[in-house]
Structure 1
Amino acid sequence: MTVVLAGGRIPAVSAFGVSGVDGLVDVVLDEGRISAVQPAGTATDVGTVERIPLDGRWVVPGLWDQHVHFTQWAQTARRLDVSRAASAAEAAALVRERAVRERAAGASGASGDDVLVGFGFHDALWPDEPTRSLLDAATDRPVVLIAGDLHCSWLNSAAARRFAPGTPDAVLREDASFAVTSLLTAADDATLDRWAADAARAAATRGVVGIVDLEYGWNLDVWMRRMGAGGGRGGDGVGRNGGEGDAAGLRVEFGIYGEHLDRAAGLGLRTGAAIPGTGGLLTVGPFKVISDGSLNTRTALCSHAYPDGGHGVANLTPAELVERMRFAVDHGLEPAVHAIGDEANRRALDAFAAISAGGRIEHAQLIDPADVPRFARLGVTASVQPEHAMDDRDVADRLWQGRSGRAFPLADLHAAGARLAFGSDAPVAPLDPWAAIASAVGRTRDGREPWHPEQAIPADVALRASTRSTLSPGQPADLAVLDRDPLAASPDELRTMPVATTLLAGRVTHDALR
């Protein structure tokens, strides 16, 4: 069946691959693709048609979040939010309140046996130290608080005995922390899949049609199961009624980590290849390698010292990084290198040069000016999360004092010809591309003065960094219908952009018009 989005507008048509059509338009969708964009009222010579009146709303390509940890994001809403804690004592008080409340309510785990998990703390600016005794005094239940950057976790004594016996530290960093947090998925597969479906539905309300899922672990089987449960619909163009709200309401590219690299190579998985039985919605993503740590944890690898004298951590030697990346490329997998500090970014770019192949650098938060032009020259995408600039601005000003003008250098990267790809790193930031776009355009949030506004980029550049397609005939019918013109909106208006409808391959996954 043909679907016609009738009477819409395309903001700055040249920015979205459309030429020769202006004013109100009809966008014609057939078999999951755009078949025509033509003046409104002229899409009459077609077969069986479903018309969706847009009444002058704006049509843009569907949005992508190009760096998420989806299963963790699906669980985050069910975890204790400690993101606003201004001190270790305040975070411990939130733990105490949650434990008391659950005990009084007779909630599962009130006996003290199950783990209380919190998420979102940022201790770099805390005036006190996160200690085991603080959490021990809050509850006798095992407590694991995960930092907002996912690179460290804070355990009480009961949690340490269970998850990290023999470890004297209250705060675990990098691999030691990852080892603990990987054990915290207590829910069964059916429950996690239901939460994932909820998260997919919520993403669709923000115009999202696709994600790059860099969840830790082996994600092929996870997403095959989720797509199978949703029927694997992808290209049938069935209009309004196809499986709205299930986990098949997104395109998914799944990442592969080092411990599974041989397995992926043995299966012949290649970046960009579609997985059979998923209707074209599930494809192989990049090979993810974590080369350094994070800013808040003070483990991002930097050329200059932090206030405590450290330079961060290198998880791999330069030779090891090149070896893994070359193996991946030789087996058809695109490298995606996590690099936050300027020294980590330099080493990642050196590695791309050594293997004579392009790929992605995830985060690219602090970059030496001499390295900025290398992204375009080497064909390396800057896969960045603009909302992190708003989360980290105060920490960056303290820990990268005197250098934060080259932190999150979006304008410099764009001017140098680098390809930008926006994501959230959810649950580090919410899975909402409009937040990323607003931060990239305005470099501000919560009414604060813009932070290094010289690194702001235009709205059309930010929107292209959050999309994968255009509105040209032959392109996927992955679309978002908006109640505002995104290229004329203020940063605050971008952040709260009302999304009227989202379509995935011509199938409506979110509908606020009816």
Structure 2
Amino acid sequence: MSNLLIRNARLVPLGAGESTPDGPVDIAIARGVVTGVGPGLDRPNGVEEIDAGGRWVIPGLWDQHTHLAQWTLSSQRLDLAGARSPEDATRAVAQRIADYPDLPVIGWGHRSAGWDREVTVSELDAVSGDTAVVLISGDGHHAWLNTTALLHFAMPVRDSVVRETEWFAAYPRLVTLVGNDGTSPEAYRRMLDEAAGRGIAGLVDFEFGAGIEEWSERWVQDCDRLRIRAATYAHMLDGVIAAGLRTGDPLPGCDDRATMGPLKIISDGSLNTRTAWCCEPYGDAHKLEYPAGQPNLSGAELREQLGRAHAAGLEIATHAIGDAAVREALAAYADTRARGSIEHAQMARRDDVRRMAELGIRASVQPAHLLDDRDLTDKIWGERAERCFAFRWMLEDGVELALGSDAPVSPLDPWLAMAAAVHRSADERGPWHGEQALSVREVLAASVDGQPTVGAGSRGDVVLLDRDPLLRDLDAADTADLGAALRSMPVALTVVAGRIVTER
């Protein structure tokens, strides 16, 4: 941790109705904490000083939901986000094999829920031969493998995709097919620097299959750029408990910038795979084995995991996308008195939103998902769309909001997430259920990990911006302009624990 003095910075008020000095101030950071804010602060001997030049200063941003190994690897994968049909995907696979005949094909990003038919393994076999092919869906909840890949993973040969729990169990074995060059310390350093360039000071890592010891190893290999909270999963919980690690404890071999995060529980599936657990059937339920989706855990199993983690001092992050999954997760939190978050909370009933507030459970949400899911939600959830991504309800009812990306499902870009929550549209159409939109101040406050306006006692994580992030020079009613301005927000400097991580 370093000491730093920032001169001539403009404070950005995060609290509603809060006021800040009209002119620039100085900010002193010592031992990772802001120790003073005001004009004309003295500079102690040996302390680095930088001139903000009147730029705006906010607390460091956080992405509260990432899968960092997958995001790091995604730049090396075949991008299938633009595939509009199975034929588009197989043509791209055939071209990749023609270009690189000696390498397996790992694809990422297709969204088959919008396609007009189910895919088959045999059609992938027809274009791939003996080359292993693994095409991971854009939501990460299923993969389309060819027969060579299925045999490599010792999985039963079938003519359909691999979904949910079976895929989650197989994913960590992907390294046996492609190696781990994409997740080397060098690759992580590039990824962390890219995140810092967007003003990010901290990340919650939900990488499936990764052990906390991996972050301990990276930390001493110059990957100590940002704050990291490393989650664990049920199959690794015994080791975490045996090590005596509680949420917030520094990871072994790390300082307090890398800490133990929550236990992650995936209680249901996703919209794209029609496996999110809902109170009512999907609009195309006649095509589905489970017309309303299904839970991944029984109620007893869910409560056992929450209770065990809570007793060991861990918070719990429960993935729940469908409204039935949200309701059951909240009931389990109430029964076990566990603490933590609902991850996604994509569709919820109003009384469950209020219950979330009563229980003090955070809503960890990813607003950019609504840009991808808008049309599919209208198609298969119909009138229930009005209670999807219900951010306004959440704030009105007193739920703590924490924004993230779910990268690489959505880009690891906090400004995109904020823009999506403000404008709720990615094209020329107007806001989708604009009654659930948030203000610029509200999304900024939900992106700084609960930190207040930069002041004495706050973390020494600050970001300098070339533009007022509250966009007070724009019409607050023109959400399209606000969204565009947020997406292009210029970041000049990112400081974590008093250390300059990146500057432009």
Q: CA deviation at 1:196?
A: 1.2
CA distance in 2, matches of 1:218, 1:122: 25
Given that 1:9 and 1:23 are in contact with CA atoms closer than 8 Å, whether structure 2 keeps it comes out as yes
Q: From the superposition, tell whether residues 30 and 292 of structure 1 become closer, same or farther in structure 2 (CA, over 3 Å).
A: same
- Does the Cα contact within 8 Å between 2:249 and 2:256 map onto a contact in 1? no
Residue 288 of structure 1, CA deviation:
0.7
2:201 counterpart (201, 209, 212): 209
CA contact (8 A) 1:13 1:21 kept: no
Query: 1:160 maps to what in 2?
Result: 150
Once residues 495 and 43 of structure 1 are traced to their aligned partners in structure 2, the CA distance between those partners, rounded to angstroms, is 34
Secondary structure at the aligned position of 1:494 is classed as helix
Pair 1:262 & 2:262 matched: no
Which consecutive unaligned segments of at least 5 residues does structure 2 have?
475-481
Secondary structure of 2:87's counterpart equals helix
- Structure 1 residue corresponding to 2:111, chosen from 107, 110, 122: 122
Q: Please tell me whether residue 325 in structure 1 is matched to residue 315 in structure 2.
A: no
Q: Give the Å deviation of 1:19.
A: 6.4
> Residues 188, 90 of structure 1: CA spacing in aligned structure 2 closer, same or farther, 3 A cutoff?
closer
Secondary structure in structure 2 of the residue aligned to 1:177: helix
In the other structure, the counterpart of 2:159 is 169
* Closer/same/farther in 2, CA of residues 51 and 165 from structure 1, 3 Å limit: closer
After superposition, what is the alpha-carbon deviation per residue over 1:224-243, rounded to whole angstroms, capped at 9, x for unaligned? 0010112xxxxxxxxxxxxx
From 139, 145, 164, give the equivalent of 2:135.
145
Q: Is the 8 A contact 2:165 2:296 kept in 1?
A: no
Q: 1:332 is paired with a residue of what secondary structure?
A: coil
SS at match of 2:389: coil
Unaligned runs of 5+ in 1: 103-109, 231-246
Distance in 1, matches of 2:391 and 2:154, equals 39
Match of 2:479? Answer: none
Q: Helix, strand or coil: the match of 1:402?
A: helix
Q: In structure 1, what is the equivalent of residue 33 of structure 2?
A: 33
Secondary structure of 1:144's counterpart equals strand
Closer, same or farther: CA 199–2 of 1 in aligned 2, 3 Å: closer
Distance of aligned partners of 1:14 and 1:123 in 2 relative to their CA distance in 1, 3 Å threshold: closer
Aligned to 1:340: 321
Choose which of 253, 260, 263 in structure 2 pairs with 1:277. Answer: 253
Change (3 A) 1:47 1:124: same
Structure 1 residues 249-296: Cα deviation after superposition (integer angstroms, max 9, x where no partner): 111111110111122111111001112432222100001111100000
Determine whether 1:308 maps to 2:285.
yes
Q: What's the CA shift for 1:150?
A: 0.5
Q: Which residue of 2 aligns with 1:76?
A: 74
Is 1:367 the counterpart of 2:348? The answer is: yes
Distance in 2 separating the partners of 1:395 and 1:190: 32
1:223 match: 215
Counterparts of 1:166 and 1:46, CA distance in 2: 66
The equivalent residue for 1:494 is: 486
Amino acid at match of 2:146: N
4+ residue runs over 6 A deviation: none
Report deviation, 1:133: 2.8
1:250 to 213, 226, 232: 226
Deviations 1:348-384 (A, max 9, x none): 0000111123311111000012211011100100011
C-alpha distance 456-313 of structure 1, shift in aligned 2 (>3 A): same
Pick which of 7-16 and 398-407 moved more: 7-16
Q: CA deviation at 1:84?
A: 1.0
Give 3-state SS (helix, strand or coil) of 2:342's partner.
strand
Inter-partner Cα distance in structure 2 for 1:118 and 1:179: 18
Check conservation: 2:319, 2:343, Cα contact below 8 A.
yes
Name the residue aligned to 1:44: 42
Q: What SS is found at the alignment partner of 2:368?
A: helix
User: With structure 1 as the length reference, what TM-score do the two structures score?
Assistant: 0.91
Residues 1:507 and 1:339: Cα distance change in structure 2 (over 3 Å): same
Determine if contact 1:116/1:144 at 8 Å carries over to the other structure. yes
Aligned in 2, Cα 1:13/1:415: closer, same or farther, shift over 3 Å? closer
The match for 1:477 is 460
1:55 aligns to 2:53 (yes or no) = yes
SS at match of 2:232: strand
Q: 1:20 to 1:162 in 2, by over 3 A?
A: closer
Indicate if the aligned counterparts of 1:2 and 1:46 stay in contact, CA closer than 8 A. no
* Residue equivalent to 2:443: 462
Are the aligned partners of 2:310 and 2:339 in contact in 1 as well (CA < 8 Å)?
no
Give 1:456 deviation, angstroms: 0.4
Letter in 1 for 2:67: H
Aligned length: 484
CA contact (8 A) 1:115 1:143 kept: yes
**What letter corresponds to residue 159 of structure 2 in structure 1?**
D
1:29 aligned partner, one-letter code: I
Tell me the alpha carbon deviations over residues 423-475 of structure 1, each in whole angstroms, 9 at most, x when there is no partner: 11111111111111110111111333211111101111111111122312122
Q: TM-score, normalised by structure 2?
A: 0.92
Alignment-derived partner of residue 505 in structure 1: 497
Q: What percentage of residue pairs aligned between the two structures are identical?
A: 43
Give the deviation of 1:319 after TM superposition: 1.5
Deviation string, structure 1 residues 304-327 (Cα, Å, up to 9, x no partner): 111124111211111211111011
One-letter amino acid matched to 2:156: G
TM-fit CA distance, 1:52: 1.4
